[in-house]
Amino acid sequence: MPPSPHDALFKSTFSKPEHASAALATALPPTIAALCDFATLAVEPGSFIDADLRGRHTDLLYSVTLAGKEAYLYLLYEHQSVPHPMMPFRLVAYTVRIWEAWCAKNPAATSLPPVVPVVLHHGTDGWRGARAIEDLYDVDGKTLGALDANVIRGRFVLDDLATASDDDLRARAMTALATLVFHCMKNARNPEALVRSLATWAGTMLEVLVSPRGGEALGTVMRYILMVHPDRNDLVLQRLGESLREGQLKETLMTAGEELIAMGEARGEARGEARGLVLGKRALVTKLLVARFGPLPSKAIEALDHADADALDRLAEHVLSAPSLEQVFLEA
């Protein structure tokens, strides 16, 4: 499955420590940020998200020196407008997986590095879900107080873009690209509003453009804007052309947008041709099988429906030689 546009922009930006360190430093409580040596921040390999949730969550794990010792910052990006109701539980599970991976590399260890979870959210109405696993316990406040530190209280850091104004984002001590990306994520659900707003972000986009590989970075942002609204690409490009005034910036974004739209159309045509080829092969193989073995059972029809071009070629090779219908599929 190809990555979502949110996943692609998030990882292309924040897998680079220069953008991630500034974003994390502004998201973390000052008391925690002051303990971190962000010059040591490094991206760690792997994802800890359940496979069935990867469509709505993306994660990155960073190692960092905290108070002179090894620690980890776990950044999880919630794509959906409605927060997952069990997010604190998910984060505890992901934190345990991080520790399990760490213990596998450090089998003689007798202590654990701290892991600080940070959730980045860009919903329309702000975060309304639980902020700590203690909020999920089905007990009253008095009982929870009695349980005290004997139960997991795990609280995560929340960076809620829905509650941040443009001025708030600009005031953050982040790189120009990270600031622009946050603005795009925050407004991604309304393409016309997002594109109109870019005129007021021309200064930030110019900062990105003149930075190393800035043209490539702006192209990635443009790809995101088009991908989150695939049915409105022409409108997005039209509004962008109307709102931007600065010549080089306008040319860079418009050219990137036109190229991406053209590439998308080419990919669509290629997919259409490939699909037509598969459908033709499937019809031919089905005809051959029916002629040889009679009406096909539902399992055979289902197998044909899921067969790609190569599998259909293999089936066609065995239609005439296999002694039974079952053997055709076994040999293929």
234 assigned to some structural domain = no
- Contact present, 75 and 59 (Cβ < 8 Å): yes
Identify whether 183 is part of a domain. yes
Domain membership of residue 195 (yes or no) is no
pLDDT for residue 230: 65
b/e string for 15-27 if b means 16 or more Cβ within 10 A? eebebbbbbbbbb
The pTM of the whole model exceeds 0.85: no
For residue 40, being part of any structural domain is answered with yes
The total number of structural domains in the chain stands at 1
Does 320 reside within a domain?
no
Residue 250 in any domain: the answer is: no
Cα–Cα nearest to 194, from 241, 250, 161, 240:
240
Stated as kind and residue range, the H or E segment containing 119 is strand 115-121
Given a contact cutoff of 8 angstroms between Cβ atoms, the answer to whether 325 and 300 are in contact is: yes
Let me know: does 257 contact 237? Beta carbons within 8 Å.
yes
Q: Is 218 domain-assigned?
A: no
Walk along the chain (332 residues) and give the pLDDT tens digit of each residue.
455 777 888 998 999 999 999 999 999 999 999 999 999 999 999 989 887 777 778 999 999 999 999 999 999 998 877 778 899 999 999 999 999 999 999 999 999 999 999 999 987 778 988 999 999 999 999 999 999 989 899 999 999 998 899 899 999 999 999 999 999 888 877 777 777 787 788 788 888 888 888 888 888 887 887 777 666 666 667 666 666 665 656 666 666 556 555 545 434 443 444 556 677 778 888 888 888 888 888 878 878 877 777 778 778 877 877 888 888 877 66
Residue that is written with structure tokens 């934190």 in the block: 95
Domain assignment present for residue 283? The answer is no
* Residue span of the structural domain in which 175 resides: 5-189
Identify the pLDDT of residue 100: 96
pLDDT value, residue 66: 97
In contact, 98 and 63? CB cutoff 8 Å: no
Asked whether the beta carbons of 240 and 257 are under 8 A apart, the reply is: yes
Whole-angstrom distance, CA of residue 89 vs CA of residue 235: 41
**177-192 in b/e burial notation, b at 16+ Cβ within 10 A?**
bbbbbbbbbbbbeebe
